Structure 1
Amino acid sequence: MSGEKKPVIGWIGLGMMGWPMARHMVQAGYDVRVFDLKPEVSQRFAGEIGGEVAPTLEALGAASDIVVTMLPDGKAARMALIDGADNASKGMKSGAVAIDMSSSEPTGTVELGAALKEKGIALCDAPVSGGTWRAEEGSLAIMLGGGDAAALDAAEAIMGPMSRVVIRTGPLGSGHAMKCLNNYLSAIALSATNEAILVGAKFGLDPSVMIDVINVSTGRSNNTETKFKPSVLTRKFDAGFATALMTKDVGIAAGLAEAQDQDMPILKLLTGIWRDFNEAHPGSDHSASIQYWEERNGEKLEPTKG
């Protein structure tokens, strides 16, 4: 209803994704309280974008109707919400909602939800897909899970400024399960395309022409359509998603399969490939992963013009 007062949003985490997402919330007219482990980042956000800096996580929780975490992983989210000496749940009122938008382990999310429920706080998981450019645009895809109907409604109601689509995935933890499985498929497609391009290039095919053909054929993927020409073939390696994060998400997917006593050989193989590349190229963008295959074969593609 247009006349309803917007909830106060507590936003924890102002990294490459969290900053633009929180910015959209401020620009949409929400009263946003921000907290980052680097106080200077919080101060810069408030100075450049708006919102109010929370001095502590407890103070952020006390001031907020909905607390959002956008952090590196589920352990960081749990520390911020309940485990840390200073945590948001110390201040949150009974009936408040927490939303973990980080890429977290599904089983850990279920455990966190049970711990918060004892304090009268409902948890939803709402990881995102689309990378930094979709975050900047406010056009992320959001996978929303949770077991409390009112909390799900409250969570979905605030997501418009950040997203182009919100899909309810099922019970608590299902959003995080869907996120890691989606990124596993993305990693598969990127890895297979890396191999195909190098095999074709050695035979004499032009990699740029290969991508043109793939993109009008059955082998196309988001990787070939949005990343290969601007980021991989130019060797800019700037698609905006860290190798470490892709490695983590593939590992979470493997852990989910293992926890369910499932034997997934491709997933196991891919987990090792991405772990090895991440260890060899710390700090890299995931679009640089073609170097894994180049280094194994003693070959290197010549860069194309962007």
Structure 2
Amino acid sequence: MSQEAAPAAVGFVGLGMMGLPMARCLLAKGFSLVACDSEATARAALAEDAPEGKLEFADTPAALAARVSLIILMLPNSEVVAAVCEGADGLVPALRQGTLVLDMGSSVPGETRRLAALADAKGAALMDAPVSGSVVKARAGTLAIMIGGGDAGFAQAEQVLRAMGEKIIRTGTVGSAHAMKALNNYVYAAGLLAASEAVIMAEKLGLDLRVFTDVLNASSGRNVATETKLRQEIIPGRYAGGFQLGLMRKDLETAGAIAAETGVSAEALALCRTLWDGALGELGPKADNTEIHRILAAKATS
């Protein structure tokens, strides 16, 4: 990408497990960044291999908003997003006419819509653009990105999004992308739960688990968990799929908020939430989400 083709600078708030490789990806593709993160170690990690003259830091979200017209948020949850947007030295009061904020984390759709209205009152815009994919895909710029919002905002964001993702899916109005991401991750969790229980039963029957995995993947039981988690992580007991239990639980809680908003009882979702809450209590938020199998297996032998 030539210097003329890239925006003068992109703001980036949140240099965590996914944010750091995403920011590095943008730098590698020729974008200039103004970054903001409260952790000195995160700032140092981004600065370590940054191209000369391409990276600056802002002390606060407000200071960042004064310097750029496109801001990416990659933050843990809606509570943190609200604090960054509305807290002391927050983004929203400092937003300028025409600024676009992209919330690329996994937030509650109702909160996304509320913050979008605040941005709109400032003559700016906030769109939701959550990602799907691992840290490996974040490094490679091959994430799937869902984006909710209007045509003008999408046109403003598209070049930056395509630098980080290989599949961009427009989902509708603001908040729709966060809703679809949460519901997608609920379906994934349900598939992982079913696959884990099925493998436990197959093992107790003395079945060859690798052959059983082949049967699932050639038949109607196939899902992303059977394709990418059973043989790779669960059967060998490696449990390193790259998605933390705490993040899985957060997405299930967001799906639960959607169930409450829509008045759907969602009994299977309630079961998933209960089981992941239990696993989180036993293993902690940083354990891999595939360890739900280990929790279930322990219960099966007790």
TM-score by structure 2 length? 0.94
Matched, 1:136 2:139: yes
Alignment deviations for residues 30-50 of structure 1 (CA, whole Å, 9 cap, x no partner): 111111120231133123234
Alignment deviations for residues 134-180 of structure 1 (CA, whole Å, 9 cap, x no partner): 2122111111001x321121122211121110000000000000000
8 A Cα contact 1:11 1:32, kept in partner: yes
| Alignment-mate amino acid for residue 38 of structure 2 | L
2:219 maps to: 217
3-state SS, counterpart of residue 166 of structure 1 = strand
1:13 maps to: 14
8 A Cα contact 2:20 2:42, kept in partner: no
1:60 maps to: 64
3-state SS, counterpart of residue 66 of structure 2 = helix
TM-score by structure 1 length? 0.92
Identity over aligned residues, as a percent? 35
8 A Cα contact 1:103 1:180, kept in partner: yes
2:164 maps to: 162
Separation of aligned partners in 1, 2:233 and 2:271:
25
1:289 maps to: 292
Separation of aligned partners in 1, 2:235 and 2:37:
36
Gap regions ≥5 residues in structure 1? 300-306
Separation of aligned partners in 1, 2:301 and 2:277:
20
Separation of aligned partners in 2, 1:41 and 1:261:
41
**Which of 233, 254, 259 is the equivalent residue of 2:261?**
259
1:205 maps to: 207
2:198 maps to: 196
**Displacement after TM superposition at 1:186 (Å):** 0.4
| Alignment-mate amino acid for residue 201 of structure 2 | V
Alignment deviations for residues 92-125 of structure 1 (CA, whole Å, 9 cap, x no partner): 3211000000100001100111112112220110
Separation of aligned partners in 2, 1:7 and 1:216:
49
1:302 maps to: none
8 A Cα contact 1:8 1:31, kept in partner: yes
3-state SS, counterpart of residue 88 of structure 2 = coil
1:125 maps to: 128
Runs of 4+ in 1 over 6 A off after TM superposition: none
Matched, 1:113 2:122: no
Q: What RMSD in Å do the two structures reach over aligned CA positions?
A: 1.7
Number of positions where the alignment pairs a residue of Structure 1 with one of Structure 2 = 297
Separation of aligned partners in 2, 1:153 and 1:237:
40
1:79 maps to: 83
| Alignment-mate amino acid for residue 56 of structure 1 | T
3-state SS, counterpart of residue 158 of structure 1 = helix
Separation of aligned partners in 2, 1:91 and 1:5:
24
Specify whether residues 49 and 234 from structure 1 end up closer, same or farther in structure 2 by C-alpha distance, changes over 3 A only.
Answer: farther
Separation of aligned partners in 2, 1:173 and 1:21:
22
**Which of 70, 73, 85 is the equivalent residue of 1:69?**
73
